[in-house]
Amino acid sequence: MTTTMLLLVLLPAQLPTAAIDALTHLSESRVEALLWDWQKATQEIRSAHYLIDWTHEDRILKDKEVFQIEGFIKRSKLARIDFKENSGKRTQIFLLNDRILETYNFVSQDKLTWEIPLGFPEKYLEGCWWEVFFAGIFQRARELFCFEFPIVEIQKEFDFSLRKEDKYWAYIQLIPKTKQRQLMLRKMEVVLDQKTHLVRQYRILDANWNLDIYDFAKIEINPTPAITLESISEDLPASFKNFR
């Protein structure tokens, strides 16, 4: 496959049109096969525990910050996402239990409880600006951290291509083509593990030209013991005051 991609890049002027078309078709078939493998692997995830190294590069400030994210996921019905400083100190916890979302802020030491309305976020992506903003953030978090990226919708929402691959990794580039996606990002690269077909990295250039890299440093699929509400709630801070 690497040879095919090099031919497409380096030799277009030297190849007959029919050969170029054949190589292009081969490349498209390969990326579609990778998308299918990614979808199949994701569908087999009932629950997961993972650690993410998150690097944020700010275009304006020209600085780089590194954070950690720990997730306990049982599909979209039950999830806990911990955001931490690079030292491991928690800054926020998000706990989703069906339609109840709780947020624990370790800076202000308060707790916010929100009942998610029916149809959120999908029905709110075409609302007023603040509805679109919050629905977009929620949707992006669900896709990246709860393994709900709409792989089957990629052709509708993105122009995609296989940027490169080797025996370990495949690099799929996604360019948004819908207004909703373009509000959030300029381009995205998904790095797939060739062995498991799961995501190793998301590399996202947002609408403001800031770069976010989410690297799955560790992931355990369908862990034992099972993830339950009790197991992910037992160490939540009980002393935090309710935010009003």
pLDDT 10s digits, 66-124: 999 999 999 878 999 999 999 999 999 999 999 999 999 999 999 999 999 988 888 88
Chain centroid offset of residue 43 CA: 15
User: Would you state the CATH architecture of domain 2-242?
Assistant: Clam (2.50)
Residue 6 has what pLDDT? Answer: 46
Each domain of the chain, given as residue ranges in start order, spans 2-242
Mean pLDDT, the chain, integer: 88
User: Whose CA is closest to 71, among 57, 56, 92?
Assistant: 92
Specify whether the CB–CB gap between 111 and 103 falls below 8 A: yes
Q: What's the average model confidence in pLDDT over 172-189?
A: 94
- The separation between CA 225 and the C-alpha centre of its own chain, rounded to angstroms, equals 25
Residue spans of alpha helices (H) in the chain:
2-10, 17-43, 129-145, 154-157, 179-182, 229-233
Identity of the residue numbered 144: L
Query: Of the candidates 41, 40, 32, which has an alpha carbon nearest to the alpha carbon of residue 154?
Result: 32
Dump pLDDT digits (tens) for 18-48.
544 444 445 688 999 999 999 999 999 999 9
Compute φ and ψ for 18, nearest 5 degrees: -60, -40
